[in-house]
């Protein structure tokens, strides 16, 4: 049964806890209600925003149009062999819940992505990634409703144009409603722990027998030590992408800052936005309502009901100071809406 609310409070529907109000709001827990909802949106000629966990969003104080919280559930095995399993997962499932479920069932590949906030349907949008794994590595298909053609469509991984924190879905905001994601998971566990922070934690604990559970536990511990829990301190994870600069630009910076963290990248050198911001002295900075996390300069936090303006001003000041010092432009990672 579809209920449409007006001027609905979205504070609990975005992990930055922005005190936003949606002109219209609906919860979609049954895909059979989608035609009725689309009909309402079309008849009123409204813009629409489709959200999962709301963990990658910076909302304005008033959100015009209709906000839909996708709350569909279900994990279905579509093919099962000795080596692998194909599972189709409804968009509204919790991401961390899925990772846990897979490990319990002996389906491997997602363990490095433990504890990332948000929903399964949102995971392909920004191609979530952590500790050497990106969700695109495990995705087989994405089912969508295409609002341009008004049809359901199955998109193969190759069609999704996945890149670092990017996809076709992110580049075409509002066009695709992701209804489910199909994952191809292995039944043979293969540890991926080349990422220094992860390997460092495993070494420090003296863990040599690597299991999926051990990697999962390590990822959870490392994340908890560095990243604020949005339920305790509202945030949207990394607020900036790690910038990619040209080889020449990197060499120039390395002359001045020999210790600058860097990672190889197909189109140049990837720098650590957290390091750049930290060098400019922002870590732990408090403003009246918003600030920069004390242990991780990449994360902007909302201490006390900060507005979109507070967040935008802080983000702009951070970008400007990084540019002034390093001549590197930072790009915001969470989606600003509208
Ligand atoms: N650093 C500092 N000061 C800081 C933060 C970082 O000097 O305040 C330095 C670190 O010492 C390290 C480098 O910067 O040398 C990179 O830091 P870190 O590993 O903490 O962050 P990252 O690797 O750039 C990325 C993702 C995270 C993900 C981690 C783990 C982006 C923008 N962020 O961070 O993703 O969890 O790797 O794989 O790619 C997210 O997207 O919300 C997110 C948390």
> According to CATH, what is the number of the domain 4-70?
3.30.43.10
Strand order in the sheet with 84-90: 75-80, 84-90, 176-186, 139-146, 151-156
Q: Tell me, in angstroms, the distance from the centre of ligand 1 to residue 147's CA.
A: 35
Average pLDDT over residues 275-291: 97
Spatial neighbors of 43 by CB under 8 A, at least 6 apart, are none
- Asked whether residue 330 carries a pLDDT value surpassing 90, the answer given is yes
pLDDT band at 217 (very low <50, low <70, confident <90, very high): very high
> According to CATH, what is the number of the domain 235-337?
3.90.78.10
Residues with C-beta less than 6 Å from any ligand 1 atom = 130-131, 195, 197, 226-227, 237-238, 241-242, 261, 272-275, 278, 283, 296-298, 333
The full set of domain ranges for the chain reads 4-70, 75-186, 235-337
**3-class SS at 212?**
helix
- Asked whether residue 1 carries a pLDDT value surpassing 90, the answer given is no
- Asked whether residue 167 carries a pLDDT value surpassing 90, the answer given is yes
How far is residue 282 from each of residues 224, 287, 326, measured CA to CA in Å? Answer: 21, 11, 15
Residues 290-306: pLDDT tens digits?
999 999 999 999 999 99
For residue 268, the Cα-to-chain-centroid distance in whole angstroms is 24
Q: Tell me, in angstroms, the distance from the centre of ligand 1 to residue 131's CA.
A: 10
Residue 225: CB atoms within 10 A of its CB come to 11
Residues 38-68: pLDDT tens digits?
999 999 999 999 999 999 999 999 999 999 9
pLDDT band at 163 (very low <50, low <70, confident <90, very high): very high
pLDDT band at 92 (very low <50, low <70, confident <90, very high): very high
Architecture category of domain 75-186 in CATH: 2-Layer Sandwich (3.30)
Closest ligand 1 atom to residue 128 Cα is 41
Measured distance CA(253)–CA(241) in Å, rounded: 18
Active-site residue, from 165, 167, 182, 308: 165
Closest ligand 1 atom to residue 164 Cα is 39
Of all residues in the chain, what percent carry a pLDDT higher than 70?
100
Residues 230-268: pLDDT tens digits?
999 999 999 999 999 999 999 999 999 999 999 999 999
Beta bridge partners of 4: 26
- Asked whether residue 28 carries a pLDDT value surpassing 90, the answer given is yes
Spatial neighbors of 107 by CB under 8 A, at least 6 apart, are 85, 87, 185, 186, 187
**How do beta strands 290-292 and 299-302 pair?**
antiparallel
Average pLDDT over residues 159-178: 96
In terms of C-beta density within 10 A (0-12 exposed, 13-18 middle, 19 or more buried), how is residue 101 classed? middle
Active-site residue, from 55, 123, 180, 238: 238
With CA atoms as reference, report the closest residue to 236 among 315, 161, 164. 315
With CA atoms as reference, report the closest residue to 294 among 334, 312, 286. 286
- Asked whether residue 25 carries a pLDDT value surpassing 90, the answer given is yes
């Amino acid at each position: 049964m579809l209920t449409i609310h007006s001027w609905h409070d979205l504070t609990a529907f975005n992990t930055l806890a922005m005190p936003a109000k949606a002109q219209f709001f609906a919860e979609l827990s049954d895909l059979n209600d989608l035609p009725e909802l689309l009909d309402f949106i079309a008849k009123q000629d409204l813009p629409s925003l489709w959200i999962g966990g709301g963990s990658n969003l910076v909302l304005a104080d008033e959100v015009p149009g209709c906000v839909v919280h996708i709350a569909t559930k279900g994990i279905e095995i579509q093919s099962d062999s000795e080596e692998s399993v194909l599972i189709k997962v409804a968009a509204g499932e919790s991401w961390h819940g899925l990772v846990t479920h897979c490990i319990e069932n002996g389906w491997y590949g997602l363990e490095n992505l433990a504890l990332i906030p948000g929903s399964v349907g949102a995971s392909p949008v920004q191609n979530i990634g952590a500790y050497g794994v990106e969700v695109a590595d495990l995705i087989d298909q994405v089912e969508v409703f295409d609002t341009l053609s008004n049809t359901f469509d199955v998109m193969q991984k190759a069609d999704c144009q996945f890149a670092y924190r990017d996809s076709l879905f992110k580049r075409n905001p509002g066009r695709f409603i992701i209804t489910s994601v199909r994952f191809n998971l292995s039944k043979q566990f293969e540890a991926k722990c080349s990422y220094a922070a992860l390997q460092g934690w495993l070494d420090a604990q003296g863990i040599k027998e690597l299991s999926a559970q051990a990697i999962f536990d390590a990822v959870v511990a490392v994340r908890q030590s560095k990243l604020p829990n949005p339920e305790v301190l509202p945030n949207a994870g990394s607020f900036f992408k790690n910038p990619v600069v040209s080889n020449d630009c990197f060499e120039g910076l390395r002359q001045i800052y020999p210790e600058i963290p860097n990672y190889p990248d197909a189109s140049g050198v990837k720098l650590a936005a957290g390091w750049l911001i930290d060098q400019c002295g922002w870590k732990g900075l408090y403003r009246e309502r918003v600030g920069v996390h004390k242990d991780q300069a990449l994360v902007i936090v909302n201490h006390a009901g900060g507005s979109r303006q507070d967040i935008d001003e802080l983000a702009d000041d951070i970008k400007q100071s990084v540019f002034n010092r390093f001549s590197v432009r930072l790009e915001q990672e969470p989606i600003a809406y509208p």
